[in-house]
Amino acid sequence: MTEQGKTGYNYIEVANLFAKVLDVATETKSILSRYLNEEVIDPMSKLWYAPEAKEFFKSFQRTVAEEEKNIDKAFQFFVDKIDLAQHDWSEETEGGEVAEKVTIETEKIFLNVAKIKDQNDGNIYIAERSALNFAEGLTSLREKIVSDIKTQETLLKEASLAFIGDDQGAAIQKCFEGILKTISDIFDFLTTGENSLKETIISVTEEYRRFARRISEEMSSK
C-alpha cells in the first residue's frame, strides 16, 4: 500500500512493473502454446488423416504466428503507455530519473504440426462424430485460455507503487484490463468465422459426408 498524501512516481517500481509486464507476456505465450499443442494438435492428429489436414494445420500455424505478433503489439502498447507516464513525471519534476523501457520480445510459439499425418495405415479420413464433438468443445477451450490469461492481472496489482496518488495505479490497472480484452479477442481464430478451426472441422466433415453419399449413389446407379 502507498502512504496517503503522497503524489508522484517511483522509477524503481516502474522498472519492476516493466519486468512484470514482460513476465505476463511470456506466460501468455506459454499458456497459448500449451493449450494449442495439448488440446488442439494432439487430439486432431488422431481424428483427421488427409493431405488437406496437413495443409490446413500449416496454415493454422501461420495464423498463430500472425496472432503472436498482435499479442506482442498489445503488450508493447501497454509498456509504451507506462513509459510515457514516467517521462511525463520526469519532465514535471524537472529531471526525475526514469526506468529503462523493455521491449516485448518473447519466445515464439512452437506448434508440433508434424503430428498431423496425411494417412493412417493407408486410411485417409476424418473421424466424424469425434471431430464434431471436438469442434463444439473449442468454444470452451477458448474460454479456458482467456480465463488463464486473465489470472495474470494479479501480477500488476502493485501498479500504485510505481505511480503514486490520485488513482494513477488504478488507471494503469484498468488500462491493462483493456489490453487483456484485446488479447482475448485475438483467440477468435479458434471459433469465429468460416476460416476458424471450428468451422473448418464442421465444413470438412460435412463435405466428406456429401462426397461419400455421391460415391455411393454413383456406385449403385445403373
Cβ(165)–Cβ(63) below 8 Å: no
Report pLDDT digits (tens) over 6-50: 899 999 999 999 998 998 899 889 999 999 999 999 999 999 999
Cβ(40)–Cβ(198) below 8 Å: no
- The pLDDT value recorded for residue 114 is 96
DSSP type of residue 163: E
b/e code 105-114 from CB counts within 10 Å (16+ = b) = ebeebebebe
Report the predicted TM-score, pTM, of the whole model to 2 decimal places. Answer: 0.85
Report pLDDT digits (tens) over 123-170: 999 999 999 999 999 999 989 988 888 887 776 766 778 898 888 888
